[in-house]
């Protein structure tokens, strides 16, 4: 509290009393120069700066671990497309677009074709997951069709060369199957041929470990 006394000619003594508020305590800030974030509860720096400092100290170890990691072809293609796209996004300062399905602003890039990293579709995380599931189902169905065609071609090529007793055993396996008994299929039906090809595929699969060993 500060008290000041002023005298004015022809006027009584006036006493002016002013109060000074205590200074507001400054909020703690991160110890990293230029960072305005609040520090962690246990530490002088914020979480982001602490993570950056840790990565800087252990850069060689992290790089060695990244080189030692193995990825599937799909994962490797996705990592490559992501690196190329986000590098271009930072350099050109491109703006993110809202989700094409719902218009949300919180979006992530989605690559319909990983061979073209710069052509992306902006989707929210929910619609991105739905799109990934749809693409995975389509790829699985296509792979199944390709495998079935390959097995059918192998069946057409190798079935006549099988021993008669082996052919009889596979036919008996098909005729005793539940699917064959339910529809009462005859040996000339499409279902019978499909079941016979499947039995032939199981027989070929049982031979693969023996041939590899």
Instruction: pLDDT tens for the chain, 213 residues: list them.
Output: 444 454 555 555 544 445 555 555 667 889 999 898 999 988 889 999 999 999 999 999 988 888 888 888 888 898 899 999 999 988 888 888 999 888 888 899 999 888 899 999 999 999 999 998 988 888 887 777 777 678 888 888 888 888 889 888 888 887 777 655 655 556 677 777 888 888 888 888 887 654 444
Nearest residue to 113 (alpha-carbon basis) of 142, 135, 88, 140? 135
CA distance 140 to 101: 25
Decide if 198 is inside a domain. yes
**175/188 same-domain check:** yes
Q: What are the percentages of helix, strand and coil residues in the chain, rounded to 5?
A: 55, 10, 35
Do 174 and 199 touch, CB atoms closer than 8 A? yes
- The boundaries of the domain holding residue 95 are 71-138
Residue 57's H or E segment, with its range, is helix 47-57
Domain count across the chain: 3
Q: What is the dihedral of CA 195, 198, 199, 201, to 10 degrees?
A: 160
**194/208 same-domain check:** yes
| Domain-ending residue, one of 69, 90, 123 | 69
**77/124 same-domain check:** yes
Do 32 and 18 touch, CB atoms closer than 8 A? no
- Report field, pTM of the whole predicted structure over 0.75: no
**56/85 same-domain check:** no
CA distance 111 to 122: 9
**84/53 same-domain check:** no
């Amino acid at each position: 509290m500060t008290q000041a006394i002023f005298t004015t000619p022809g006027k009584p003594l006036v006493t002016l009393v002013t109060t000074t508020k205590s200074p507001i305590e400054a909020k703690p800030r991160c110890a990293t120069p230029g960072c305005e974030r609040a520090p962690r509860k246990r530490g002088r720096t914020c979480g982001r700066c602490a993570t950056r400092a840790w990565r800087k100290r252990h850069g060689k170890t992290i790089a060695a671990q990244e080189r030692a990691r193995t990825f599937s072809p799909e994962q490797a293609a996705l990592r490559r497309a992501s690196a190329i796209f986000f590098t271009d996004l930072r350099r050109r300062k491109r703006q993110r677009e809202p989700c094409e399905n719902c218009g949300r602003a919180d979006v992530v890039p989605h690559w319909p074709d990983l061979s073209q990293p710069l052509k992306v579709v902006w989707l929210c995380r929910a619609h991105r997951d739905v799109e990934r599931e749809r693409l995975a189902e389509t790829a699985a169905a296509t792979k199944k069709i390709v495998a079935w065609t390959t097995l059918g071609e192998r069946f057409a090529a190798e079935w006549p060369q099988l021993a008669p007793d082996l052919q009889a055993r596979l036919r008996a396996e098909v005729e005793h199957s539940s699917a064959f008994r339910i529809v009462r299929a005859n040996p000339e039906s499409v279902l019978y041929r499909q079941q016979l090809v499947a039995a032939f595929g199981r027989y070929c699969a049982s031979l693969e470990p023996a041939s590899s060993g």
